[in-house]
Chain A
Amino acid sequence: MALLEVEGLTVSFRSRYGQVTAVDNVSFSVTEGETLAIVGESGSGKSVTCYSLLQLLPRPPASIEAGTALFNELDLLRLSERELRKVRGSEIAMVFQDPMTSLNPYLSIGSQLIEPLQLHHGCGRREALQKAVVALKEVGIDRPQTRISDYPHQLSGGMRQRVMIAMALIAEPRLLIADEPTTALDVTVQAQILQLLKRIQQQRQLTVIFISHDLAVVAEIADRVLVMHQGQVVEAGSCSEVLQRPQQQYTRDLLAAVPRGAKQKTATEVAPALLRVSQLSTWFAGSGGSFFGAEAAPNKAVDDVSFEVRRGEIVGLVGESGSGKSTTGRSVLQLLPQTAGLVEFDGVNLSQLKRYQMQQMRRRMQMIFQDPYASLNPRMTVYECLAEPLLHHGLAVRGSAMAQVLQLMDDVGLARAGIRKYPHEFSGGQRQRIAIGRAIATRPEFIVADEPVSALDVTIQSQILELLLALVEQHNLSMLFISHDLAVVRKLCDRVLVMRAGKLVESGAVEAVYANPQHPYTKTLLAALPQLAAVP
């Protein structure tokens, strides 16, 4: 029996460019006890569809133009705010993508957990707290009695997402809407959360709508799949059917974009080392040190790490958040002061350089950052952004930089017409192209790329990866590619380094490590990788 039946849902937004249709005549139904995955890129309307079911969109600018959404004989789209409040939380609950921003930092998780109980079920405080402890236990949190008085910042990302799930489930809803619940998490944590969702879904016979852009994740959890593109449903069907025998071209493109397999061409083994890192350590002063007081024990973010990068080689550095991989990348570029060890670039010991020498050296070594929304100055146009490194290093003179900037834009696949625009006028993928253009502007020999594709959709991700590969080959670049995504690393890199808690635990040629991991941690990482098995 269908628990939710959506018919002809159309949602539009008022914008500067007029009325924009975000969801266009979407129909689907969810049967009691099944997991439906809605898949699509950002901007495909998958989140808007679900948010409009609970009327969570700000109106205006959003407006629901047409459609019905029958849930339990009730048309959700026509409920008053009062009636909706009875549905939200108690009948339909949501889990959001970012567990940090969706928990209130000023309230203990206990008081946030019991809120829906007191609201919807009229429970007393004591009874509600008991239920909260049970709920925390159900989502796999150790020592729930003590944990319940913790504040969100005291929990890790995975724990916070568990709390969010507990909070969604505590009022025993019939439908759970999970909006990219694992996207912000590490791969091992993601695997745990997926397993948790699956287990709870089966135990409670819960109905789940799972929104995701990641087909590999969807393959693990969904019974049925709905593919959305530009506000419309492109394809729908059972999970195995859609993923193994896609009917539509768009679905096939989506599947083809999932990183799979190994790098086509591997770098020559004999190339000389460009970067040699030996026994690098970067420690941070412990927190709690006051102005005059003694400092607390240091946090050893990077501890005795040695590796080298040869010319023309892409070396992957994988690990979970907090493993010290980003710190390693920044220490190599001397963006963070190293505590001990030696970083040699082309035979030069970087920590011995004077400040101005280092500033000159930076022309030869650049960085690409993870978040293209934060790594571009919002008040600089594309032209200014790309011209700055050229002018600064004397590679162009003011007035004649234009031709070089246009050439750069061509190189990274940006339309020339966008040269006067500001970063916010571009999509995430285009912004990352700007950031890449900035990094290659000075013709560097070495680039540290810190999770450059983690914030991007899968199709955009594959385009950016291809761009990086092409640039590496074209300019004979060497790259340290930092990522938590093992599939991406396999696709792009020649060698891989695995980091955990500041230490290098394993290194070797990508295929060798993936085929035969030595360290137990590497094995865990590889096992947690969601697999898109047997897809054409």
Chain B
Amino acid sequence: MSVALPVDAQQSSSLWGDAWWRLRRNRAALAGLIFLSVIVVVALLTPLLAPYAYEEQRLALGASGPSAAHWLGTDVLGRDMLTRIMYGGRVSLLVGFVATAVALLIGVLYGAVAGYVGGRVDAVMMRFVDILYALPFMIFIILLLVIFGQSMLLLFIAIGAVEWLTMARIVRGQVQNIRRQEFVEAAVSMGLGPWTIIRRHVIPNTLGPVIVYTTLTIPSVMLLEAFLSFLGLGVQPPQSSWGLLISYGVETMEEFPWLLVYPGLALTLTLFALNFLGDGLRDALDPQSASGRGGS
């Protein structure tokens, strides 16, 4: 191979650049990514795309099955299911992504610092996590909502504040392993400061488990939202979300199965796509994975 050739193509060579290159070769992950992008675009454009307004009721219609006018049928109040699912998706995706992002950000940073610094700092930080674990989280969330009133923002914060605990523990365990490795010591001996080391050397090496756990967190956050909404603590009717639609659908499952099937399908497909994407990302971010670049 000529010596000059690889150099040009290399300017952008980095973990993320290579990860993107590898991800594009993983068909399942790519399909998941495309599906999610479509879902997100639809959610963003829902007010323009939705066939009906979401509060529009036709009581006379009642719960009717799929038809030309209402592709996915209508619910007991005669509201168009497709519209409800589209609007519900906005809430579910927002809660799923934002609350998970909050959990991810806090959890990774907190866990990385605790694991990297170690010693008493670690002990104090992790005992704090233990204390939060021990708080019954429903009471915690209800307290928050009672004190500050109901709002979507608070819902994100409340859910994120619960979900980051496990993330912090996972990351801390990983970091404790990584910081004992020689390449971290090599970075110290190079004169790098602790933040640079955490950012460049430690966190990238914790990504595998973090991504897997993230793909598990998103669905559990969506279900948590449904649960809170069901109790009247989350989004309020006539607003809805996938989780809420499903839990209403369950009640009328025997008479009107489409009220359960379609929102369930929307949630399931999204979670499938997320899992494929998560697996793909985990492999793509690991240069040693089998699908990695061959001898170049």
Contact = CB atoms under 8 A, between A and B. Distances in A.
A377 B183 contact: yes
Contact of A359 (B15, B186, B191, B294): B191
A125 interface: no
A422 interface: yes
Contacts of A369: 182, 185-186
A435 B10 contact: no
B49 interface: no
Given A369-B182, A374-B181, A379-B205, A384 B13 contact: yes
B190 A384 contact: no
Interface in A445-464: none
A478 B287 CA distance: 35
B290 A16 contact: yes
B296 A438 contact: no
A420 B10 CA distance: 7
Contacts of B187: 377, 388
B191 A363 contact: yes
B190 to A, nearest CB: 5
B10 A419 contact: yes
Contacts, number: 114
A17 B293 CA distance: 11
Given A367-B186, A402-B7, A420-B10, A360 B191 contact: yes
Contact of A438 (B9, B18, B188, B190): B190
B120 A291 contact: yes
B136 interface: no
B204 A392 contact: no
Nearest to B287: A422
A389 interface: yes
Contacts of B266: none
Given A374-B182, A425-B295, A416 B189 contact: no
Interface string B185-219: 11111111100100011001100000000000000
B175 interface: no
Interface in B268-290: 285-288, 290
B1 interface: yes
A335 B189 contact: yes
A359 B193 CA distance: 7
A333 interface: yes
Interface string B210-246: 0000000000000000000000000000000000000
23 contacts: A359-B191, A361-B191, A362-B189, A370-B182, A374-B181, A375-B185, A375-B186, A376-B186, A377-B187, A379-B285, A381-B15, A384-B14, A388-B187, A392-B190, A402-B7, A402-B10, A402-B11, A416-B3, A416-B6, A419-B7, A420-B296, A425-B295, A438-B186
Query: Ordered nearest first, which 8 A-B pairs have the shortest CB separation?
Result: A362-B191, A422-B287, A375-B182, A359-B191, A374-B182, A367-B189, A377-B183, A369-B182
Given A363-B191, A416-B6, A417-B6, 17 more contacts: A359-B192, A362-B191, A369-B182, A369-B186, A370-B182, A374-B182, A375-B185, A377-B183, A377-B201, A380-B200, A383-B10, A402-B11, A419-B6, A421-B293, A421-B296, A422-B292, A438-B186
